[in-house]
């Protein structure tokens, strides 16, 4: 099983060649530069469903089993104030997403890296390192909106479906989603969940999937009343972290398109399709209370968040 898990890591890299191949990354960027002015146009008007994948009930059960395994491997933050804040903010965004009827579950993982990820069935996780880094609720909303978008677009489920084409993963797949609904399902999935999670099958996506999640995410946060420039300032932070302290970036963020490209793409979307309004929310008292709680628990150093950039607009509202 460990051998298969290792092979699966290689498989996921193979499914998304732009992640590690410099020539693929260059071709990726050139395609964007030479194509449409707004690279998000290709996602406009898309519809999303489980058709051709797995029934939603099976996706949810898979997510439940993966979450059980993740709880064994990661330290979930149980502080009620922090957990409640992230869950409520996540639900607020999810209700206005393109998949509003799914039950979403938001969790905080105690980990200093700047990271967030989603699993099938509506399970979304943010690291304490990311909560310590964001400086406004609009920045955090952009992260959660992006992860909700992965669930909306079934990116992890699509990766899992594609993996079945590779013969050396057949055993893992059969023990996993292929047996959902039968007796002993939980035990069988539990035996393979660790390998599937380690392989990144549900969290490592193609760069185009990441662009789609940015597109859906910025519209999701805007629909919920948040200033979409929070996504831009988050990307600026990621860009600076990648230069100054790349070890702080979690594995998921390291495989995204370059932050500079994401800034250009999102700025074009805001300029072309979103009307900025002074009533859009940038920050809230609830966010500031969350940051204070992080400081009380020792996850943020100093009396206030450390700014990685100059303020780009006026006072919070």
pLDDT tens for 97-108 read 999 999 999 999
Q: How far is CA 14 from CA 32, 252, 254, 287, in A?
A: 22, 16, 16, 39
Pick 315 or 245 by higher pLDDT. 245
* Interstrand relation of 123-127 and 105-109 (parallel, antiparallel or unpaired): parallel
First and final CA of the chain: distance in angstroms? 52
What radius of gyration, in Å, describes the C-alpha atoms of the chain?
19
- Quote the pLDDT of residue 19: 41
Q: How far apart are CA 5 and CA 17, in angstroms?
A: 19
- Tokens describing residue 52: 């051709």
Phi and psi for 20 in degrees, rounded to 5? Answer: -120, -10
Segment 19-37 shows an average pLDDT of: 47
- Quote the pLDDT of residue 194: 79
Q: Where residue 193 falls among pLDDT bands split at 50, 70, 90?
A: confident
pTM: 0.82
Q: Where residue 85 falls among pLDDT bands split at 50, 70, 90?
A: very high
Pick 196 or 207 by higher pLDDT. 207
Q: How far apart are CA 240 and CA 222, in angstroms?
A: 25
The CA-based dihedral angle spanning residues 35, 52, 160, 54, taken in that order and rounded to the nearest 10 degrees: 140
Segment 48-77 shows an average pLDDT of: 94
């Amino acid at each position: 099983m460990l051998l298969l898990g290792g092979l699966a890591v290689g498989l996921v890299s193979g499914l998304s060649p732009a992640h590690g191949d410099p020539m693929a990354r260059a071709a990726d960027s050139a395609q964007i530069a030479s194509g449409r002015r707004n690279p998000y146009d290709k996602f406009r008007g898309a519809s999303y469903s489980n058709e051709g994948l797995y029934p939603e009930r099976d996706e949810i059960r898979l997510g439940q089993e993966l979450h059980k395994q993740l709880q064994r491997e990661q330290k979930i933050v149980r502080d009620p104030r922090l957990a409640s804040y992230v869950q409520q903010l996540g639900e607020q965004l999810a209700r206005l997403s393109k998949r509003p009827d799914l039950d979403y579950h938001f969790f905080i993982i105690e980990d200093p890296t700047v990271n967030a990820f989603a699993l099938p069935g509506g399970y979304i996780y943010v690291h304490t390192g990311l909560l310590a880094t964001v400086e406004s609720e609009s920045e955090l909303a952009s992260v959660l909106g992006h992860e909700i978008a992965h669930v909306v677009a079934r990116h992890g489920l699509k990766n899992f479906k594609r993996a079945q084409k590779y013969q050396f993963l057949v055993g893992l797949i059969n023990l996993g989603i292929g047996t959902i609904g039968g007796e002993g399902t939980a035990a069988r999935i539990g035996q393979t969940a660790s390998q599937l999670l380690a392989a990144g099958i549900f969290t490592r996506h193609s760069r185009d999937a990441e662009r789609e999640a940015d597109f859906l995410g910025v519209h999701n946060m805007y629909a919920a009343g948040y200033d979409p420039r929070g996504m831009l300032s988050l990307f600026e932070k990621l860009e600076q972290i990648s230069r100054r302290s790349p070890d702080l970036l979690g594995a998921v963020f390291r495989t995204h398109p370059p932050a500079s490209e994401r800034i250009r793409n999102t700025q074009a979307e805001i300029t072309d399709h979103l009307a900025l309004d002074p009533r859009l929310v940038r920050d809230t008292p609830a966010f500031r209370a969350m940051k204070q709680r992080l400081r009380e628990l020792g996850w943020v150093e100093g009396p206030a968040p450390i700014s990685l950039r100059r303020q780009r607009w006026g006072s919070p509202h």
